[in-house]
Every structure is written in C-alpha cells, then in structure tokens.
Amino acid sequence: MKRVYNFSAGPSMLPLEVLEQASKEMTSYGDTGMSVMEMSHRSKAYQEIIDTTEATLREIMAIPDNYKVLFLQGGASTQFAMIPLNLMNGSNKADFVNTGAWTKKAIAEAKKYGQVNVLASSEDQTYNYIPKLDKSTFTPDADYFYIASNNTIYGTKMNALPDTGDVPIVADMSSNILSEEMDVSKYGVIFAGAQKNMGPAGVTIVIIREDLIGNAMDITPTMLNYKTHADKGSMFNTPPTYSIYIAGLVFKWIKDMGGVKAIQARNEEKASLLYDYFDSSKLFKGTVVKEDRSLMNIPFVLPTDELNAKFIAEAAKRDFVNLKGHRSVGGMRASIYNAMPVEGVKKLVEFMKEFEAEHA
Ligand code: PMP
C-alpha cells in the first residue's frame, strides 16, 4: 500500500487508523449487514452513530450544556449567509475583522442582510499578519463580532480573542478546530467545514449557544434557520450520514491520542520543526509575521519562482505532495493538520535541508 505525505489544505489527510476502521466496516457496519452509507438516517444503528459522534465531540472540546452541536451541509460557505440571517436580528449591525479571502466572502454575504463594520484588515500585506484591534471602534450594540480563527490561505492565526463584552463572537474555525484547546464558552457560534481536521467534505459542524437560536429574520429559508436543525437533532432532512460517521471516528481517534491537549502539543512540535528551520535557513523563508503564525497552514517561499517550482516538483518525487501555495500567496504551503504525523514534518524538513545544501 502506498501512502504519501499529503500536505493538502483541504480536503486533507485523515488518520490512517480511521481509514482502516472505515475500511473494515465498509460493507457491513457491526452486524447490520449494510454499509453506513446504505443505512436509513432514521434507523437505530444510525441514531447511535450520530449520538456517539456528538457525545465524543462534546467531550473532547468540553462543550458546555447550553450549546447545541449541529451537523449541517452546504460547507462553511453556507454559514456566511446563515450567520447574518440568524443573528443580525437586533441592531442589524455586525463587526468583522478582515483577515483573508474567507472573511472577505463572509463580509460580502453579511452586507446583503445588514450593516457591516470592518474594524480592521490586513489586506495591505496579502494578509500575512493579524491586524491590531482598537476597542473604541467596536460597535457597542453589534449583533455579533466575526473572526476567522485561522486563515488557511495565508497561514495566520488569531492568538488572542478580543474582549467584546456581551457581543457574541462568531468564529470560522474551519482550518483549526480541534487543533488546540479552545474555551467554547467564549464564543457565541463556532463553525467549521469538516474537510481539514474532522473528516470528509460534506458536513459542517456548528456549535451555537442556545440563546442565539430562534431569532432568525423572517426571510430566512427553512433550511438556513438554525432552529430547524436544532429542534430536530440535525435530522430535519437527510444529514450527510457517511461524513458524520467518519467525523465520529476522527473524534474518537483524537480522544485515544490523549484528547485535544495532547494533539495541541503534537501540533506545536510539528509547527516548530518548520518555523525553527525557516528562522535558521538562508534559503527558505516563512511568509507570516512571527507572532501570528498558524499551527496548521505554513506558507513559505524560496528566493525565485524557478526554485519554488523545482522544490515542489522534487518534493513530489519523494512523496511530499500538495505543497504548492495558494495562487494569491505563491511559493509553497505545508498544511499540517492533526492527522499529519510528526514523522511527515521531520522528513519534509530533512528534505528541505538537502535542497538547501544543493542550492546554497
Ligand atoms: N473558511 C475557511 C477558513 C476555509 O479555509 C474554507 C475552505 N478552505 C472555507 C471557509 C470554505 O469552506 P467550504 O469549502 O466548506 O465552504
């Protein structure tokens, strides 16, 4: 069996143990005689799967009881509309921090429904830093305060949460959910597409404080109303059953690895291997300011486009794949989500050192 070191930004690597478990259960889950894909979402067997998936997520993230966990479809991008439709119902105003293409899309969508205040932006430097916030500019009666906790394309991470008082914080955690310990109670809504740290594409996890459910705008389509899904345990219609099942296996894998705390230590070790190398290398350079570096997405460049292309091609020959950076940043990007083993990053750094020696 060939497995490569897959540095894709998403969909991305899954733990081998999870794939093997799924493979064992592919044609018959337990003694049901059918694949999870072939099960009615209304069956007892499936209800157990979704219940266990939610319970394990609640355990590993320490989600307080006054939060609902929803398993939705439409990707993280659908949340860009669901958030304003459901939350922009008081002052009809919201504050945003613009840290990249994904927040920009969220801003554009929210503008359709209410008044958007962009407090700060790092667009001037291709989003290679997290802009400083000035509390005096916050909208005191905003319905919510919107951030992306990790910016997949640029490799930045918001390390400190602003103090927004009673204004609920909404966080797009698509690319760093479960990568480090987070205090869920500090957020009003957390959402994330599954396809980086949780499972296959197709399911989007929404963790929402209960008091934020039930006040959607009248125009809200039924399927875009959190209440629709919260009232029915994510079974208003057919949920993405197989993606939820795999996410459940991933959550169990995290638990077995020692939980998010242990995963965080492993992620810090992996990221340091790369960042420490960039800081000492004469050839490879990270593109993000030090204090805002992501643990998950690590963009870097060589001095010329020719060298970038050569590095990517030679890396692929050694089974380090999907290292090409996003077109807006250029160069390379190593996405090292939870499932990437420490060994994969160590070997990549060894290869970079060889490449540097050859091109010094
Ligand atoms: N937010 C972030 C931070 C992302 O990285 C992505 C996708 N890479 C999205 C939102 C959009 O997710 P989706 O494709 O699931 O709509």
Q: Report the sign of the C-alpha dihedral through residues 257, 259, 262, 268, in that order.
A: positive
Q: Do residues 198 and 192 touch, judged by C-beta distance below 8 A? A: yes
How do 156-157 and 144-148 pair as beta strands? Answer: unpaired
Q: Does the Cβ of 337 fall within 6 Å of ligand 1? A: no
The fold for domain 259-358 equals Aspartate Aminotransferase, domain 1 (3.90.1150)
172 is catalytic: yes
Task: Report how far residue 69's alpha carbon sits from residue 210's, in angstroms, rounded to the nearest whole number.
Answer: 10
Q: Write out the chain's pLDDT in tens, 360 residues.
A: 899 999 999 999 999 999 999 999 999 999 999 999 999 999 999 999 999 999 999 999 999 999 999 999 999 999 999 999 999 999 999 999 999 999 999 999 999 999 999 999 999 999 999 999 999 999 999 999 999 999 999 999 999 999 999 999 999 999 999 999 999 999 999 999 999 999 999 999 999 999 999 999 999 999 999 999 999 999 999 999 999 999 999 999 999 999 999 999 999 999 999 999 999 999 999 999 999 999 999 999 999 999 999 999 999 999 999 999 999 999 999 999 999 999 999 999 999 999 999 998
The three-class DSSP label of residue 268 is: helix
Q: Do residues 197 and 49 touch, judged by C-beta distance below 8 A? A: no
Task: Report how far residue 290's alpha carbon sits from residue 6's, in angstroms, rounded to the nearest whole number.
Answer: 25
Residue ranges of the binding site for pyridoxal 5'-phosphate: 76-77, 102, 152, 172, 195, 237-238
Task: Say how many Å lie between the CA of residue 84 and the centre of ligand 1.
Answer: 17
Task: Report how far residue 348's alpha carbon sits from residue 337's, in angstroms, rounded to the nearest whole number.
Answer: 15
Q: Is CATH 3.20.190.10 the right assignment for the domain spanning 16-256?
A: no
| Boundaries of every domain in the chain | 16-256, 259-358
What is the pLDDT at residue 323?
A: 98
Residue whose CA lies nearest to ligand 1 atom number 10: 76
Angle at 267 between CA 2 and CA 280, to 5 degrees: 95
E runs forming strands in 67-219: 67-72, 93-98, 115-121, 144-148, 150-151, 156-157, 169-172, 189-193, 204-209
Which one of 104, 196, 252, 270 is the catalytic residue?
196
Q: Does the Cβ of 77 fall within 6 Å of ligand 1? A: yes
How do 144-148 and 67-72 pair as beta strands? Answer: unpaired
Q: Do residues 333 and 296 touch, judged by C-beta distance below 8 A? A: no
pTM above the 0.80 mark?
yes
What is the pLDDT at residue 360?
A: 82
What is the pLDDT at residue 58?
A: 98
Q: Do residues 175 and 296 touch, judged by C-beta distance below 8 A? A: yes
Going from the C-alpha of 68 to that of each of 65, 190, 352, the distances in angstroms are: 8, 11, 44
Q: Does the Cβ of 95 fall within 6 Å of ligand 1? A: no
What is the pLDDT at residue 247?
A: 98
Task: Report how far residue 282's alpha carbon sits from residue 358's, in angstroms, rounded to the nearest whole number.
Answer: 12
Task: Report how far residue 281's alpha carbon sits from residue 277's, in angstroms, rounded to the nearest whole number.
Answer: 6
Task: Say how many Å lie between the CA of residue 193 and the centre of ligand 1.
Answer: 6
Task: Report how far residue 124's alpha carbon sits from residue 126's, in angstroms, rounded to the nearest whole number.
Answer: 6
What is the pLDDT at residue 1?
A: 84
102 is catalytic: yes
The three-class DSSP label of residue 8 is: coil
E runs forming strands in the chain: 5-6, 67-72, 93-98, 115-121, 144-148, 150-151, 156-157, 169-172, 189-193, 204-209, 285-286, 297-301, 320-321, 332-335
The phi and psi torsions of 107 (rounded to 5 degrees) equal -65, -50
